């Protein structure tokens, strides 16, 4: 083949390329494939409730130690530890022999005082009749009136002493002040009991209450909390707020709150934890990304990613964001985004509004 022809064949591809003009732009499908692919969800669907806890204890309505009010030997004990008793049931009997003798003496003194008062009254009545006929001086009548009044006062004192003695006899029969269970017994038959000697300890069987010490900030908003529950030994029981003390305790710097069980109740004395939820107001920590010195989230607006710094947000902790509920937040793929990037939504994500 001639040498000229070989040269033409070697430059032919370059000539053809020059005639083809500039390189064609990639099709739109190829450009879309290069945009970051992200998942988004509305802000309202991402809000999470905030949980709160506080140590709590179940308190009985009444937890009482019954003690003797008089000096007497214990004659009988009708109950023991674990016994259930109703209000008014007889629990302990004390020997009342000496107290009944004292009551008899008091009743005798009442009878004597009544007799003296009756005699003084009759004498006064006769003296007033004589005074009308001027057979007796006015001073004598006044003296008799004073004597009668003193006799009546003696009657009142004697009757009060009798009532005290009768009450002391009544105190030898110790009865349950409320429906309860006996959890301690100190009374022993034959032992001498004096005023203040503990005999039995009773715990009220009425509905117990949960007591918790709340931090001041939690206490101020506890009325808005939801799903209140007392948890002890793996069992969670729903409760409701009864009352909140209006003062702050100096020792714990908290406010005491009482809660009532709404269904089953835990036994009095149980220790556990009070749980509650605040209204949904926080977003999950994985949404946060750091760009420079700012921590924030990525939104999707008109097909583009926009970085929004969240003041006060901390990496790894839930955060609050004051935006409309339909704002689209990037939930997957945000780590590689830059502010202003065009993005492609995953097929199962909602379309952003223009």
Q: What is the pLDDT of residue 189?
A: 96
Measured CA to CA in angstroms, residue 55 lies from 51, 65, 124, 256, 260 at distances of 14, 26, 75, 11, 16
In this predicted structure, the answer to whether residue 33 has a pLDDT above a threshold of 90 is no
Q: What is the pLDDT of residue 184?
A: 96
- When pLDDT is averaged across residues 172-177 and rounded to a whole number, the result is 96
Residue 51 pLDDT: 83
Rounded Cα–Cα distance for residues 334 and 174 (Å): 75
Predicted local confidence at residue 314, as pLDDT = 85
| Confidence grade of residue 6 (pLDDT, cut at 50, 70, 90) | very low
- Token pair recorded at residue 6: 């070989």
In the prediction, which pLDDT does 149 show?
Answer: 92
pLDDT of 18 > 50? The answer is: no
- pLDDT value of residue 317: 82
- Of the pLDDT bands very low, low, confident and very high (cuts 50, 70, 90), residue 27 is low
Residue 74 has what pLDDT?
97
| Rounded Cα gap, residues 203 and 61, in angstroms | 8
Instruction: Give the least confident one: 165-179, 193-207, 335-349.
Output: 335-349
287 vs 321, higher pLDDT: 287
The confidence score (pLDDT) of residue 143 equals 87
Render pLDDT for 109-153 as a digit per residue (tens, 0 to 9).
Answer: 999 999 999 999 888 887 777 777 777 777 787 888 899 999 999
Query: If one looks up domain 64-93+174-204 in CATH, what number appears?
Result: 2.40.50.100
CATH 2.40.420.20 at 35-47+282-345, yes or no = yes
- The per-residue pLDDT for 347 is 62
State what percent of residues in the chain have pLDDT above 90: 57
The mean-pLDDT minimum among 22-26, 93-97, 156-160 falls in: 22-26
Predicted pLDDT at 280: 66
Per-residue confidence (pLDDT) for residue 124, from 0 to 100? 83
pLDDT for 7 equals 47
d(CA 158, CA 180): 38
Mean pLDDT, the chain, rounded, equals: 86
Within this chain, domains 35-47+282-345 and 51-61+206-277 share the same CATH topology: no
Please answer whether residues 36 and 337 qualify as being in contact, where contact means their C-beta atoms are separated by less than 8 angstroms. Answer: yes
97-170: CATH topology: Helix Hairpins (1.10.287)
Map out the domains of the chain as residue ranges.
35-47+282-345, 51-61+206-277, 64-93+174-204, 97-170
Nearest to 296, CA basis, from 342, 352, 338: 338
- 3-state secondary structure string across 233-245: CCEEEEEEEEEEC
Mean pLDDT over residues 228-232, rounded? Answer: 95
Greater confidence, 264 or 94? Answer: 94
Mutual angle of helices 97-132 and 138-170, in 10-degree steps: 160
| pLDDT tier at 20, thresholds 50, 70, 90 | very low
In words, the CATH class of domain 51-61+206-277 is mainly beta
Q: What's the burial of 13, exposed, middle or buried (CB within 10 Å: 0-12/13-18/19+)?
A: exposed
């Amino acid at each position: 083949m001639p040498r000229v022809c070989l040269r033409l064949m070697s430059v032919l591809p370059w000539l053809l390329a020059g005639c083809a003009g500039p390189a064609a732009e990639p099709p739109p499908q190829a450009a879309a494939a290069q945009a970051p692919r992200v998942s988004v969800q509305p802000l309202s669907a991402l809000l999470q409730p905030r949980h709160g806890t506080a140590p709590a204890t179940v308190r009985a309505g009444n937890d009482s130690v019954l003690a003797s009010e008089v000096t007497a030997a214990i004659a009988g004990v009708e109950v023991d530890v674990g016994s259930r008793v109703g209000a008014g049931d007889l629990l302990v009997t004390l020997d009342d022999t000496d107290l009944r003798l004292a009551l008899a003496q008091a009743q005798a003194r009442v009878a004597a005082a009544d007799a003296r008062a009756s005699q003084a009254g009759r004498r006064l009545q006769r003296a007033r009749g004589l005074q009308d006929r001027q057979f007796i001086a006015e001073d004598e009548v006044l003296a008799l009136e004073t004597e009668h009044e003193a006799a009546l006062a003696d009657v009142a004192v004697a009757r009060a002493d009798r009532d005290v003695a009768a009450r002391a006899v009544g105190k030898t029969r110790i009865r349950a002040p409320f429906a309860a269970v006996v959890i301690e017994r100190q009374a022993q038959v034959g032992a001498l009991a004096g005023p203040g000697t503990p005999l039995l300890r009773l715990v009220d069987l009425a509905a117990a209450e949960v007591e918790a010490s709340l931090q001041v900030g939690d206490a101020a908003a506890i009325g808005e909390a939801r799903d209140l529950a007392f948890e002890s030994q793996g069992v969670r029981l729903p409760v409701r707020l009864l009352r909140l003390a209006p003062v702050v305790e100096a020792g714990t710097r908290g406010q005491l709150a009482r809660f009532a069980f709404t269904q089953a109740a835990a036994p009095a004395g149980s220790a556990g934890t009070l749980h509650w939820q605040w209204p949904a107001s926080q977003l999950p920590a994985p949404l946060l990304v750091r760009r420079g010195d700012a921590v924030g989230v990525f939104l999707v607006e008109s097909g583009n990613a926009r970085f929004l710094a969240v003041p006060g947000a901390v990496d790894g902790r839930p955060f609050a964001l004051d935006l409309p509920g339909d704002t689209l937040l990037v939930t997957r793929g945000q780590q590689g985004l830059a502010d202003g990037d065009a993005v492609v939504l995953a097929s199962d994500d909602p379309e952003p509004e223009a």
